[in-house]
Structure 1
Amino acid sequence: MRSFVNRQVAALPPSGIRRFFDLIASSTDIISLGVGEPDFSTPWHIRAAAIRSLERGRTSYTSNWGLLELRQAIRDHLEAWQGLTYDPEGEILVTVGVAEAIDLALRAVVEPGDEVLIPEPCFVSYAPCAVLAGGRPVAVPLRAAEGFKLTPERLLEHITSRSKVLMLAFPANPTGAVMNAAELAAVARIAVEHDLLVISDEIYGEMTYEGEHRSIAAMPGMRERTVLLNGVSKAYAMTGWRIGYACGPRDVLAAMVKIHQYTIMCPPITGQIAAIEALRHGSAERERMVAEYDRRRRLMVDGFRRIGLPCVEPKGAFYIFPSVAETGLDDTTFAVRLLEEEKVAVVPGSAFGAAGAGHVRCTYAAPIEQLAEALRRLDRFVARLHESRPRAMAR
């Protein structure tokens, strides 16, 4: 039956994250630092709003654009948070998570052969979605020495006459890197000069620990050439509700909703109602969870440095991306052996692009007691590696 499978789809590699976690299924007593998902339950007042909606029989389709009340809540949230104003009637689209929004945005703007610039290491779906849209993904390798930030020099090295889209994602998965307003402004000037559309994935924006998150859409000349993506999954512990959103130029959003209406129609109404409650009344619980992530972040940074695995201090999201190169193992071997020998699951950095090789991604979306135990096991594992290396060299 392989002859029936689309050749482009057949050529796509499986997700490096999911392929690795197949190894976990048969193991027990594992501390997982691998899944990028909050360990908190959705706050009760958000769940209660959804329950009330079900009790009242709100189980219908919504507009393809999403509930108008939710789009208004998104408008109000972005105005208060970023000083950005979008019209709920035509400039805001509710999607099934940011994952769908990424796919829609790329399919709406990419023509065959267009180049999509993707800073790496990055979330695993960007390059495959660019391919499925008919584009050509172009990796822009980021460097640990530069804090895994996108610099003007790195970007200019990869721009060609076919460059059309820049994928941007800060705070970043898997590195936790952030970019401040001045750094974003420098990238924005290049986007304007080279006529690039920016798709800005800001799902971790509300999880910024030092300073304040700034959207590139708020930079001069950028609102009209940025599709801003966000949602409630991470900051409000609502991954399973699958509610994201896209904001941007009216023409681009109209193209996105054309695809959305034929493939998805609309996200589930219950999730949309829960998202209204989150955006209108969820700030206190969000801040409580972010404060706890920050406490865990400091534990992980101190722990990895004490173990001797260098890492760029993450300033956002809930990931840390230590280098394992000094152990003498490549990142995949390190991750597999750590799982087998110490029952700690991490993700090889190469799953996030070639620029991630030699690192592993660890999430601190886990109880602090588990994180402390994971660090003890990591310390023991790395110590054994150090002990074995001289004997191996002697042989």
Structure 2
Amino acid sequence: MDVISGAWRRTAAGAGLLSPQGEVAPTIFAEMSAAAVRFGAINLGQGFPDEDGPAVVLEAAREAIAQGANQYPPGRGIPDLRNAISEHQRRFYGLAVDPETEVIVTAGATEALTATLLALIDSPDDEVVVFEPYYDSYAAVVALAGAHLRTVPLRRPGFRPDLEELAAAVTDRTRIILVNDPHNPTGAVFSAEVQAEIVRLAERHDAVIVTDEVYEHLSFHGAHVPIASLPGAAERTLTISSAGKTFSVTGWKIGWVHGPAPLITAVLTVKQFLTYVNGSPFQSAVAVGLRLPDDYFHSAAAGLQRKHALLGEALRAAGFEVHEPQGGYFTVADATGLGGADAAAFCRALPERAGVVAIPISAFVAPEHQDDFSGLVRFAACKRVEVLEEAAQRLAALS
């Protein structure tokens, strides 16, 4: 008896995990992490820090547990965190967000994204426009929602979208324009011109803008500018972010989404049947984090930028062509000059060859567009300096 649902098949296929025989293949992330263990390699593949976040935030979580914040929090999130999110958006971006009706706390940004797409997709004819390469869950969630994925390539140098290609991708069938800024995996930050065009196209075609801004405080060359802060954008934009990257607590899975109350109500209707609620003591701690002084946020970005510089120097010395990131956790490098035109094969050999793990950009690209990004490899810079220094010594063997 075939008990596998169409939703399961769509999701696996959207994630690039369904083989022609209908079997689920492991992700490249799982494969590379296993290789790191097998060869004792330094894992610069997965994007999680290897050191804890600010002590005051960690202590706030311990205190909340001790004080009994261990049961279900309110469905929208604890009031203190919703207030802190509202304060944060006003403090950094001048955005007015009603903490009672325009904010939901979620199980990380991924749940916020999933609930949003499931809530807003109305028809199998709906399309979701994303920039390619894209965070791998995007395609899976679009497939789960039963919609169509339309991609706009980010062109080198600088991984910038061509505005004509963007305009061609957004049509009256577009339900959502999904924007990840700062961008994973490329480290690009969208220009004011690109942001304005996204808003113009959304207005013209009556689309909703959904933004994934988890790296908002890790932008290296100027303050982050949310699309919701642009004229005419707030009424059609759902803004998603999370605590994991900002405070180095990726395992806490505390995210949020804010936007117009009617859209938020639709998202909440779906979200309450996913995780329902999560992380009560961690929600209290994240509220503390969002109220930290400006110095914390500035130093977090500056420290990560220095790590990128160290990693970039090592990659250049090893023979890679490095694309300097403008924000986020990752540095993208071209391995073509090292015989890595097939980046997936190069990454599979790298743990044994050099004792370092990386991820091919092909993991973030639709199968039919692989050739546009051949040779590109993603390295995570969000590790301790001594780990990056050891990785630099190992990579030197490639030169």
Give me the TM-score of the superposition, normalised by structure 2. 0.90
Match of 1:119 in 2: 131
Give the 5 Å matches for 1:48-197.
48-111=59-122, 112-145=124-157, 147-197=158-208
After TM superposition, give the deviation of residue 275 of structure 1 in Å. 0.8
Q: Aligned AA for 1:141?
A: P
Deviations 1:6-46 (A, max 9, x none): 13423523374434335426414211111111222032211
Give the 5 Å matches for 1:291-310.
291-310=302-321
Q: Greater CA deviation, 159-168 or 231-240?
A: 159-168
CA distance in 2, matches of 1:254, 1:343: 49
Checking the alignment, whether the CA contact within 8 Å between 1:173 and 1:317 is kept in structure 2 is yes
CA distance in 2, matches of 1:357, 1:181: 28
Residues 1:157 and 1:325: Cα distance change in structure 2 (over 3 Å):
farther
Give the 5 Å matches for 1:336-347.
336-347=348-359
After TM superposition, give the deviation of residue 118 of structure 1 in Å. 1.1
Q: Aligned AA for 2:102?
A: E
Residue 223 of structure 2 aligns to a residue in which SS?
A: coil
Match of 1:256 in 2: 267
Residues 1:143 and 1:179: Cα distance change in structure 2 (over 3 Å):
same
CA distance in 2, matches of 1:300, 1:44: 26
Checking the alignment, whether the CA contact within 8 Å between 1:36 and 1:365 is kept in structure 2 is yes
Residues 1:151 and 1:225: Cα distance change in structure 2 (over 3 Å):
farther
After TM superposition, give the deviation of residue 57 of structure 1 in Å. 1.5
Residues 1:340 and 1:83: Cα distance change in structure 2 (over 3 Å):
same
CA distance in 1, matches of 2:119, 2:232: 21
Residues 1:334 and 1:95: Cα distance change in structure 2 (over 3 Å):
same
Q: Greater CA deviation, 147-156 or 223-232?
A: 147-156
Deviations 1:193-223 (A, max 9, x none): 2222111000001001111110111111110
Checking the alignment, whether the CA contact within 8 Å between 1:121 and 1:142 is kept in structure 2 is yes
Q: Aligned AA for 1:369?
A: E
Checking the alignment, whether the CA contact within 8 Å between 1:180 and 1:214 is kept in structure 2 is no
Match of 1:9 in 2: 8
After TM superposition, give the deviation of residue 69 of structure 1 in Å. 1.2
Residue 161 of structure 2 aligns to a residue in which SS?
A: coil
Matched, 1:357 2:368: no
CA distance in 1, matches of 2:214, 2:254: 11
Matched, 1:368 2:385: yes
Deviations 1:296-332 (A, max 9, x none): 1112223333333223210100200111223333001
Match of 1:335 in 2: 347
CA distance in 2, matches of 1:194, 1:149: 22
CA distance in 2, matches of 1:217, 1:320: 27
Residue 62 of structure 1 aligns to a residue in which SS?
A: coil
Which residue, 192, 210, 213 being the options, matches 2:221? Answer: 210
After TM superposition, give the deviation of residue 63 of structure 1 in Å. 1.5
Q: Aligned AA for 1:4?
A: V
Q: Aligned AA for 2:142?
A: A
Q: Aligned AA for 2:144?
A: L
Residue 317 of structure 1 aligns to a residue in which SS?
A: coil
CA distance in 2, matches of 1:238, 1:367: 15
Which ranges of structure 2 fall in alignment gaps of 5 or more residues?
18-25
After TM superposition, give the deviation of residue 269 of structure 1 in Å. 0.8
Which ranges of structure 1 fall in alignment gaps of 5 or more residues?
384-395
Residues 1:270 and 1:25: Cα distance change in structure 2 (over 3 Å):
same
Q: What is the identity percentage for the equivalent residue pairs of Structure 1 and Structure 2? A: 32
Give me the TM-score of the superposition, normalised by structure 1. 0.91
Residue 291 of structure 1 aligns to a residue in which SS?
A: helix
Residues 1:23 and 1:262: Cα distance change in structure 2 (over 3 Å):
closer
Checking the alignment, whether the CA contact within 8 Å between 1:236 and 1:286 is kept in structure 2 is no
Q: Greater CA deviation, 30-39 or 226-235?
A: 30-39
Residues 1:213 and 1:115: Cα distance change in structure 2 (over 3 Å):
same
Q: Aligned AA for 2:175?
A: K
After TM superposition, give the deviation of residue 238 of structure 1 in Å. 1.3
Count matched residues: 380
Q: CA RMSD in A?
A: 1.8
Checking the alignment, whether the CA contact within 8 Å between 2:324 and 2:331 is kept in structure 1 is yes
Residue 322 of structure 1 aligns to a residue in which SS?
A: strand
CA distance in 2, matches of 1:277, 1:163: 38
